[in-house]
Amino acid sequence: MSTTTTQTTESVPSTLKVESKHHEGFEQVAEGVSNITFGGDDLAYPYRKPEFKDKYEERKWVLEHTAAAFRYLARFNYQEGASGHISVRDPVDPHTFWINPLGRHFGLMRAKDLVHINEKGEVIGGNKHVVNAAGFQIHSEIHQARPDVNAAVHSHSIYGKAYSAFGKPLEMLNQDSTLFYKSHTVYNTFGGVVFENEEGKRLAKALGDNRCIILQNHGLLTTGSTVDEAAYLFGLMERTCQVQMIADQHPETKILIDEEEATYTAHMIADPESVHAEFAPEYEWELETSNGAFLFKDESYKTDAFW
């Protein structure tokens, strides 16, 4: 199994900080530069998550963005029947989370469709509907093991399933792939449909401190500090698997990005805020094309039940 860690300023090798041929001292330069802006005022919503004083208003924001994330997955055909799930930690009660109801098409998802569930698997609010058992086992273990993970995305997308059969991490083939540099791993054991609690624990352990994981013979799973971040990473990882399989058709002429440049690029563009911002155009697309159909129309998000 590949074991890696998320790229941070502290994890940049010291040799790159001092002896980098092309980007000497880049970690200091990066402090004032973001992938989402250069100069000018700070970017406002939707490129950055707002700060909330009211946790119920934050819940509203989180659930609406989660519904948009489902619609994003549907638009690119990342759904497979009733498989796949997105979970988000509840801002009001962080020991609980929200997940999609079993059988609801991703492309029809609304914020009021989401189910509020606790660590025991009990439905406690929202749309009081049944949920995918495998989805609960996977996501509950991840949220318990990783307090920094506020959202997790898993679905049975075509290229994710195909590439997962190789049981190996992605190569640094291009700029976009560097978002996964030293921040993804591979779960090399396929234990069947995740109906058992222990399988969920093993999967969460395999994820470790990483951002994303390739589940061998299964598919992809991505996480984030926001659902926007996790959703964008899922789409990007799916497309990166597709590019990898295309490039692997001509392995003799394939050129990889070297470690120094991969480290530099990941450091500059893979921070959570920048990745979160990458989802903003997708959110705006879903908002515009659906005429806001997935948004709350009332204040039910402040109650125990939406229906």
Torsion region of 173: left, alpha or beta (phi above 0 gives left; psi -120 to 50 gives alpha): alpha
| pTM across the whole model | 0.86
CA distance 252 to 206: 32
Lowest mean pLDDT among 28-32, 71-75, 76-80, 132-136: 28-32
* pLDDT tens per residue across span 69-80: 999 999 999 988
φ/ψ of 219, rounded to 5, equals 160, -150
* pLDDT tens per residue across span 186-233: 999 876 655 556 778 888 999 999 999 999 999 999 999 999 999 999
**Closest residue by Cα to residue 155 from 72, 241, 76, 234:** 234
CA distance 195 to 183: 27
Domains and CATH numbers, the chain: 48-294 (3.40.225.10)
CB burial readout 250-268, b (16+ within 10 A) else e: eeeeeeebeebbbbbbbbb
Please tell me whether the peptide bond between 272 and the residue prior to it is cis, using omega within 30 degrees of 0.
no
Torsion region of 182: left, alpha or beta (phi above 0 gives left; psi -120 to 50 gives alpha): left
- Residue 115: pLDDT above 50? yes
